[in-house]
Structure 1
Amino acid sequence: MLIVQLAWRDLLRDRFFLLCNVAVMVGILVPLLVLFGVKNGVYQALIGEMLANPANLQIDTAGNATLSEAEIAPLRDWPEIAFMTPKIRAQFDYINVRATEGRRMRAALLIPTGAGDPTLPSGAELAEGAVAISAQL
């Protein structure tokens, strides 16, 4: 107990040294706590939003390749793949559409889909030849 009393008296006697030590500790700990808060707050929220939107998890091919259904079928069994469908050629991705009474043409992106597509609203089932139109169009 004597050591603690002597240390406490020495600490109070050298107040300037104590103030410098506290300032150094604050100068080191405050930025670290801010970075920790950013990582666990903003960063985690952004990652959570990104992973919640299935469109962000979509992988698209950059070029054109001719693949048969037999070549695509084994990939559907991979546990990492939630939904997969072949895509049409890149030159046929867009079509021109307009409203019934409208005059302005607008380009619309064609994306093939099927049962279990996570980008469609839950419970939405498309019949053969049916079309789903996004809110952006």
Structure 2
Amino acid sequence: MSPRPPRSGPRPAACRRCSGREGRGSRPRSRAPRPLRPSRSGQEYPPIKGRETIATALLGSLGHLDTTHSLSNPRVSLDGDTAHLEGIMACQHLPREDHSRHVLMTNRYDVDLARQGEVWVIRHVTVDNAWTKGDPTVLSGI
């Protein structure tokens, strides 16, 4: 059995951010803009900048959804106290009150991180949508 992966590092930081665990019960660690490029579903999302704005926007707009996010093909490059992560994120969003509706997405994540003490924090993340399937109105209000 291999040892459990560390909870601190570039990949866990990206996973916390995408799962929403970063903002539940604590302040989010990301301070960076979060540009979302136009989705193939036709929805456009403006860049979100600032720690509090990111937390408010994401927790407020996604709070009514049950979601899953799975990171695959992570590629991490380290340079001292900075890191860069690229990966593919498979996302599933379902309204909590109506699981008959859903939207599935695959996005490419491009993430810059910096070490702050024992913790890696996200400085900048760009999300490029590769494809979307299902009911994109599930994401209305984001």
- The TM-score normalised by the length of structure 1 is 0.22
Larger radius of gyration: 1
Q: More helix per residue: 1 or 2?
A: 1
- The TM-score normalised by the length of structure 2 is 0.21
Q: More strand per residue: 1 or 2?
A: 2
Flag the structure with more relative contact order, 1 or 2, with Cα contacts below 8 A and sequence separation at least 6: 2
